[in-house]
Amino acid sequence: MEIKRFGSGQVRIGDIIYTRDIIIYPDRIETSWWRDANHLVQLKDLQKILNTPPQVLIIGTGPFNEMKIDNNVKEICDSKGIKLITENTQKACEIYNELKKQNLNIVTALHLT
């Protein structure tokens, strides 16, 4: 799956345009990713991902970096050997597309609005 376009609170993957926060797994897209604390990513928000850890976890923090990452997320990723990348969502999409070319196991969580 390649992210073809991001902008104005939406992302296009293939022929589908998503307008809600999503998680891109290697084999599927979760279309309604929501966090208990709207603009804070905590461990419980990533539990499914951390149960089967990817090599790389990319978190798109919104167009203007509105979303923050709890320090516990960073610590758990370090302890599990997951490379954690956090960037504004536009940059996160670009990084995702580049890393996919390397055939890595990547999960990408994108905050769109």
What are the structural domains, with CATH classification, of the chain?
Answer: 3-110 (3.40.1230.10)
Interior/surface letters 27-49, b for 16+ CB within 10 angstroms, e for the rest: eebeeebebeeeeebeeebbeeb
Structure tokens at 87: 């960037």
**pLDDT by position in tens, the chain (length 113):** 889 988 878 999 999 999 999 999 999 999 988 888 889 999 999 999 998 899 999 999 998 899 999 999 999 999 999 999 999 999 999 999 999 999 999 999 999 97
Give burial (CB, 10 Å; 0-12/13-18/19+) of 59: buried
pTM of the model: 0.94
Whether residue 113 contacts residue 60, with contact meaning beta carbons closer than 8 Å, is answered with no
Bridge partners, residue 87, by sequence: 60
Whether residue 4 contacts residue 92, with contact meaning beta carbons closer than 8 Å, is answered with no
Going from the C-alpha of 56 to that of each of 9, 53, 90, 105, 108, the distances in angstroms are 24, 8, 17, 6, 8
